[in-house]
Chain A
């Protein structure tokens, strides 16, 4: 889930400040003239705060203003500067967010008051919102960080993991992004699509709801064995280890065919049947 900002090669100067708010950054990616107009507009709220209606997060601001219109001025303006202190890295979904919320409390006593002027990323800045117990936040953060750890070592660019796939007998290799697949079933589908022109074997077409065993049936029939080269340089059978561990250690894939596959397949299918 990369943010548009990362691909902004123009590098608008305000792009860095927009780390506070993903939605504001999307505004600032608009043509310059629009942005400049907005910059000169007089408005209540924080600098860079956009009044566009459309995105749901903008709605809340307008809507909130409607709701608080008749309330004293301090509601809208108070702590305007405080909000800007905000949480650094509003994009980050790792567990660093959790501790960030706590120090925010010291700075932003009136954080809740900024509803009228708060930015869309306010939910990262407002203490105690959403109302989730720290225990649960820590659990979920640990979940997402665990997933992040697995792929950290092997990331080429943010959010993708391309490995070469060779198939015996094919005239050229392919590359596949392991991260776009979440389990062996999806990998199998993707490989099937990729190499269908080279006819993998019988019964490939029309298979739905592939599970791990299906992948092996598919590619480990008498004709094919799917193997991968791991970090240590060894060639391993695909499917033995949990998915996360697999994508962590997989350096390249190889679809072995024909004579080389003999002797490997029967044992592998047996193993996979036991698993499911």
Chain B
């Protein structure tokens, strides 16, 4: 084998190295066959980036040993470049559209089509095993291409993608003989019938991850049950709402080894068996770390999951409209939960229960049950958040949708939990000030950035002046991702941020009064960032053209629409790239 030859050579080389020689006369002290196996243990792509910069030898050792490539912006690099550098990739992660596309701010047909990538991948990496896509346009043809051109293909993950239907999934199920993972999450697709689950061949026994919780279509329970029965390594199973309790009972009997479970509908019109059976079955699932789904669950059926709650690390109740006392009931059994997602119907009382029962909590997400609730009677307020911060000192990730907040409350929260890494506060009323003092929410976010040195991600909301951004620019030294909407008073706001925040990677701004001067103040910063999104701000085409001219290695893309004037740059997306301007830009995207 190649390696043996190398090894015999290197033995000589190692012996001949004079231990007394100074470091500068030694060439590379690590022979390839030592370096490559060592580097192959490094998974983080950031670490690998650092490794590749040490010296040429390390660059080459790294690129030969890399098995997984992470591309955060599919337009920042061309696949030819990737394939040229990394010959032995088995796994690709690809992200496409800007994050605001999740909220309908990016027009359809914008791009991020995975198909051109697949064509080149088939040539460069015919033995590709894993593909993870986020916010990409994926057609049925692409899925079929994927299924039929990669014989070793094992794992497919589609998060927030669109463009495909059940037909594409049928192709995957039919042709991927070694499938271990099929993870379909939160996609905007048309669930046009088609029972794709029945397309899994009887011979497929390797499945470890199956997540179709977000697909609405009916699947054949018979096929699902058989699949679960024969796939003994199944550890993640997340079914959709059409699977009822009886069926869940049968599935769990076959798969007590599950570590992650997403249930279907958790209520039943006809109770066909005593509920105690299901409770016992849950008790037999000793490895459960995650439970999600739980649609329509109520206090009658909640006790079923108690036996499984003891070891639970992540409880996702964001599809279950529980009320405060119901949440309290279940949390009493979840002492070791670290991540909790809930709807805001649980109210402040529910969050008090969180503070009381979950001392190990690290992440809390509170989603609005009724985002367009005009009456604002339901939901959570600042006191709920304070309760959680008091009871959960380890809290470091918060996503909180509310109707009202105060500066003092936020200051208290971060005093209680100074370890925040992710602070995402969404006061749903636009431009809402501190409802007690009527002042802007500047001091709230000032407190956050001053008190939390590890802050990586921040989303601001409420009535905010430039002062917020002055605080952010000055104090948020580790900030990587910042989301801003309907905030700021002038160009100064953006200038502060661009002038500070040395670690900033992703900046997304909508509906703020930031203009060309602010945009151009960050000229030199954009190459150190992944991307900048600005929509409905004060940018003009001229300003963007200046930027594009000064910084040729950025793609400055303006999305035109019929309503806005020609000189306005209504939606601007700027990102660094080594691939040059997009070749697949639709007519409404102008690359300057």
Interface residues of A (CB under 8 A from B): 1, 3, 21-22, 56-57, 59-61, 63-64, 66-68, 70-72, 75, 90-91, 93, 97, 101-102, 105, 109-113, 115, 118, 120-124, 126-137, 139-140, 143-144, 146, 182-183, 185, 211-212, 240-245, 274-276
Contact = CB atoms under 8 A, between A and B. Distances in A.
Contacts of B160: 133, 135
A140 B563 contact: no
Interface string B359-402: 00000000111111111110000000000000000000000010
B343 A242 contact: no
A149 to B, nearest CB: 12
Given A59-B432, A63-B463, A274-B276, A140 B375 contact: no
Nearest to A184: B300
Contacts of B401: 130, 132
A140 B370 contact: yes
Contact of B432 (A63, A109, A136): A63
Contacts of B404: 56
Contact of A112 (B271, B300, B372, B535): B535
A60 B429 contact: yes
A136 B545 CA distance: 38
Contact of A140 (B275, B299, B371, B490): B371
B478 interface: no
Interface in B147-190: 160, 186-188
Contacts of B473: none
Nearest to B295: A143
- Listed from nearest, the 9 A-B pairs whose CB atoms lie closest are A112-B511, A128-B103, A64-B431, A112-B536, A109-B563, A135-B186, A63-B463, A63-B433, A71-B513
B498 interface: no
Interface stretch (B39-47, B317-325, B572-580): B317-325
B269 interface: yes
A195 B478 CA distance: 64
Given A136-B367, A242-B298, A243-B298, A128 B104 contact: yes
A129 B368 contact: no
Contacts of A57: 429
A136 B269 CA distance: 25
B253 interface: no
A244 B319 CA distance: 17
Interface string B210-223: 00001000000000
Interface string B522-564: 0000000000000110100000000000000000000001111
Contacts of B298: 183, 242-243
B425 to A, nearest CB: 12
B486 interface: yes
Nearest to A209: B325
B105 interface: yes
Interface in B249-280: 267-271, 274-276
A60 B431 contact: yes
Given A59-B435, A124-B374, 20 more contacts: A3-B374, A22-B374, A56-B403, A59-B432, A60-B429, A64-B430, A67-B488, A68-B489, A112-B535, A123-B372, A123-B428, A128-B105, A130-B401, A131-B426, A135-B160, A143-B369, A240-B271, A242-B298, A245-B269, A275-B300
Contact of A137 (B303, B371, B433): B371
A120 B373 CA distance: 11
B102 interface: yes
Contacts of A136: 186, 318, 367
A202 to B, nearest CB: 25
Contacts of B59: none
Contacts of B487: 67
A56 B432 contact: yes
B510 interface: yes
B319 A139 contact: yes
Contacts of A66: 463
Contacts of B535: 112
Contacts of A61: 431
B570 interface: yes
Nearest to B463: A63
A242 B269 contact: yes
Contacts of B319: 139, 143
Contacts of B372: 90, 93, 97, 123-124
Interface in B34-89: none
Contacts of A112: 485-486, 510-511, 535-536
A126 B536 CA distance: 12
A118 B269 contact: no
Contacts of B376: 56
Given A68-B513, A242-B267, A118 B104 contact: no
28 contacts: A1-B375, A56-B435, A59-B433, A60-B430, A67-B463, A67-B488, A75-B513, A90-B372, A90-B374, A110-B536, A112-B486, A112-B536, A118-B430, A122-B430, A123-B372, A124-B374, A129-B428, A131-B103, A133-B186, A135-B160, A135-B187, A135-B188, A136-B186, A144-B369, A144-B370, A243-B298, A243-B300, A274-B275
A93 B438 contact: no
Contacts of A110: 536, 563-564, 570
A123 B379 CA distance: 16
Contact of B485 (A91, A102, A129, A245): A129
Contacts of A97: 372
B438 A63 contact: yes
A67 B429 contact: no
Nearest to B187: A135
B145 interface: no
B433 A127 contact: no
